[in-house]
Structure 1
Amino acid sequence: MGNITTSNAATNCTIDHTIHQTLAPVVYVLVLAVGFPANCLSLYYGYLQIKAKNELGVYLCNLTVADLLYICSLPFWLQYVLQHDNWLHGDLSCKICGILLYENIYISVGFLCCISIDRYLAVAHPFRFHQFRTVKAAAGVSVGIWAKELLAGVIFLMHTEVMEDKDQHLVCFEHYPIQPWQRKINYYRFSVGFLFPICLLFFSYWGILRAVRRSHGTQKTRKDQIQRLVLSTMVIFLACFLPYHVLLLVRSLWEDSCEFAKEIFNTYHFSLLLTSFNCVADPVLYCFVSENTHRDLARLRASCLGFLTCSGLRGAKEAFPLSSPEALGKNEARREEPELLTKLHPPCPLSSSPGPGGTSQEG
């Protein structure tokens, strides 16, 4: 098994890990197949925002990088569960993958909170707090979030995370019942990593909804679209993170025996699997619901079509009706968005094209 430091005394708590061999592989494969390409597109969208000097792009890119790092650890976890919870890659790799798994939750929560506060300031206070809504300020906040979570993850490096069970399998991040040092960090996770950010997020989105309702210059259909975006964000946030943190607190408070660990094991690990869907939900919420993003992605597709056409694939033109003048005209008509929706999803810069007089101008 390599140079693996394991506990000589196998744990006396024997738990049925069937959920790891049945449900976990399905979730991991789904998140890999959908989350990786979706987050790559999200990274492109965030790059366009940064190019436009928009601070939202900084948060989007950091959120996407955190999701991609977690997604890159999924093949290791997939192999682990398919091997019947037998870790084959050493203690250090177990710690790194575990940190990517658990800290991604709080890095994601942090940047979702930053995005909500940024959108609240843009909609409710568009002429104030400019010093907090700059690319430089967003970069500073992002460094602080990464530093805080990475420092919190150091505690896992101080403990052995690979242990040998009664079947001589090397289990990774499996401690039953919960250990005393884990209780302390779990209280920190729940209060600082989840409860405080979600209070800020609720306050921010309540302010956004109130500003939308007070706006008289926005069409009703646009107001409905903004409210659906805000409410769907809250629902997905709660669905992905609330069950896990409730059960995390329950374990920390009352798990002091193997019997209790057995009773809560499946429910707890199901809630942990739910957090993985955040990697799929993030790009959908903050990129693909915006008409601006639809237009940018349509133009990206049109550029790819142009490349294929120049390469001799003439038949591809009929397969993409968006390239027709009528479709492009309808697409251009979507530019007229109300002020509030534009603030929620600032338009991205289009690729440079020769303007009048041969100079390059942004679309």
Structure 2
Amino acid sequence: MTLRPTSIPDYSTTISYGNNNNTNETHCPDHELWEWLTAHQPVYILLITVLGIMLNMFVLTVFCFHKKACTIAEIYLSNLAAADLVLVSCLPFWAVNMLNDFKWPFGHFMCKVINVGIKMNAYCSIYFLVLVSIDRYVALVHAMSHGRMRSPKYAKLGCLLTWGFGLLLSIPVFIFREVRYFPEYGTVCYLNYPNHNVQVICDGILIIFSFVIPISIISFCTFNIIQALKLQAIERFNAENTERKATILVLAVLVAFLICWVPFHVITIVDVLLRGGILEGCHFENAVDISIQIFTYLAFLNSILNPILYVIVGKNFRKKVRELFQQWGHQRKTLSDSTRSNLSSTLKTSV
């Protein structure tokens, strides 16, 4: 029976036992580095949680309560904020798990639900970016021929299908996540694959559907978007700065997502090759284990970068924030004036 030196929410915590030939045990770990990671991970997770909840709630508040309806790009970005909010809301459970020496205290059902929430973010986040990339591509490159496809109704339908697709792809996590007591480790929430082939299939699904396919689509759209912006191929967009501003924001969000998530997916591919026996070596295995830890939490950092980018890059978003505060200020003033008027009328009647 083997367990990796430390645990990551959902992605690589795998205990093998019985006749399972998968051996992920690291025989020559860098104990000092593992201890440093273990000591600092809970603090990092709690920081990501607090900032992520505050910032993504702020974004959702602006998009939902502004008097003007969301644009198509904003519909996708608001759903991206919701997916990030789901992720950061699940992370505190793993922080507690780490502080509890990786002994899962929340029961079998929560073990499944929390990890499904994290897995859904991995799928939904990138597919919301796929949708917004396609929208920017159509808006800048094929506006005349496919403009009718860009409607809030289709955008909302696309978001609904994306949530359903993310939930569908998270079913293996719900099935194979279990809580079990092991004398060596205590009560552990872990992925209990029935055999190595099933584990390889699940890893393959993660790599193909959350990396290869979406990154290919995003790369194609992004290349053409940049070309359209650079060459100004469609003259009417010179006058319509709204589309260009929205596109620049989307490109910034895409770059941040790629920086945060590509290392995780690359190291996941390396890990699959390592567990398949294609790559081997004690120190190499230890380096992969440590890299998975670091790149996983780099990926989680993306959940707080997006709201910051909206404020820094998104001129339209900043405008919406100002208008929302003005809207609330006007409502408060109207309510206050109404209250004073009613009080004055009451006093006059009493006299």
Alignment of 1:274-353 (within 5 A): 274-286=298-310, 289-303=313-327
| C-alpha spacing 1:295/1:50, structure 2 compared with 1 (3 Å) | closer
Structure 2 partner of 1:255 = 275
Residues 23-32 or 80-89, more deviating: 23-32
Structure 2 counterpart of 1:130: 147
Distance 1:173 1:19 in 2: 22
Give the letter aligned to residue 112 of structure 2: K
**Whole-Å separation in 2 of the counterparts to 1:103 and 1:124:** 31
Q: For 1:64-143, what aligned pairs fall within 5 Å after superposition?
A: 64-143=81-160
Q: Give the unaligned 5+ runs of structure 1.
A: 1-5, 313-363
Residue 162 of structure 1 aligns to a residue whose secondary structure is: strand
In the other structure, the counterpart of 1:52 is 69
Distance 2:96 2:275 in 1: 28
TM-score with structure 2 length normalisation? 0.74
Decide which of 275, 279, 291 is 1:267's aligned counterpart.
291
Report the secondary structure of 1:197's partner residue. helix
Measure, in 2, the Cα distance between the counterparts of 1:148 and 1:293.
28
Contact preservation (8 Å) 1:124, 1:208 = yes
Instruction: Give the whole-Å Cα distance in 2 for the aligned partners of 1:180 and 1:19.
Output: 34
What is the DSSP-based 3-state SS (H/G/I as helix, E as strand, rest coil) of the residue aligned with 1:171?
A: strand
Equivalent residues of 1:49, 1:56 under 8 A apart: no
Give 5+ residue unaligned stretches, structure 2.
1-14, 337-351
Aligned to 1:330: none
Task: Specify the alignment match of 1:240 in structure 2.
Answer: 260
Question: Match of 2:92, SS?
Answer: helix
Cα distance in 2, alignment partners of residues 222 and 138 from structure 1: 18
CA pair 214-222 structure 1, distance change in 2 beyond 3 A: farther
1:175 is displaced (CA, Å) by 7.1
Q: 1:87 is paired with a residue of what secondary structure? A: coil
Distance (whole Å) between structure 1 residues aligned to residue 135 and residue 79 of structure 2:
14
Q: Which amino acid counterpart does residue 264 of structure 1 have in structure 2?
A: V
Match of 1:155 among 172, 191, 196: 172
Alpha carbons of 1:303 and 1:46: their partners in 2 closer, same or farther (altered >3 Å)?
closer
Whole-Å separation in 2 of the counterparts to 1:246 and 1:232: 21
**1:299–1:12: structure 2 CA closer, same or farther, 3 Å change rule?**
closer
Distance 1:170 1:152, change over 3 A: same
Q: How many Å apart are 1:309 and its aligned residue?
A: 7.5
State the SS of the aligned residue for 2:102.
Answer: coil
User: Partners of 1:49 and 1:74 in 2: how far apart?
Assistant: 29
Q: Counterpart in 2 of 1:38? A: 55
Supply the AA of the counterpart residue of 1:298: R
Provide the C-alpha distance between the structure 1 equivalents of 2:86 and 2:110, rounded to a whole number of angstroms: 14
Instruction: Sort the Cα spacing of 1:72 and 1:161 in 2 relative to 1 into closer, same or farther, 3 A.
Output: same
Is 1:27 matched with 2:44?
yes
| Cα separation, 2, equivalents of 1:305 and 1:180 | 60
Question: How far is the alpha carbon of 1:187 from its aligned partner?
Answer: 1.1
Query: Percent identity, aligned pairs only?
Result: 26
- Aligned equivalents of 2:25, 2:201: Cα separation in 1: 22
User: C-alpha separation between the residues in 2 aligned to 1:231 and 1:144?
Assistant: 23
User: C-alpha separation between the residues in 1 aligned to 2:252 and 2:332?
Assistant: 37
- What CA distance in whole angstroms lies between the structure 2 residues aligned with 1:119 and 1:48? 24
Q: Give the CA deviation at 1:228.
A: 6.3
Question: Deviations along 1:249-281, whole A, 9 cap, x unmatched?
Answer: 111122258956544211111111111112112
Aligned with 2:143: secondary structure?
A: coil
Decide whether aligned partners of structure 1 residues 269 and 73 sit closer, same or farther in structure 2, where only a CA change above 3 A counts: same
Query: In the alignment, is the contact (CA less than 8 A) between 2:245 and 2:314 conserved in 1?
Result: no
**SS in structure 2 opposite 1:85?**
coil
Please point out which of 145, 161, 164 is paired with 1:144.
161
Change (3 A) 1:271 1:12: closer
Structure 1 length as normaliser, TM-score? 0.71
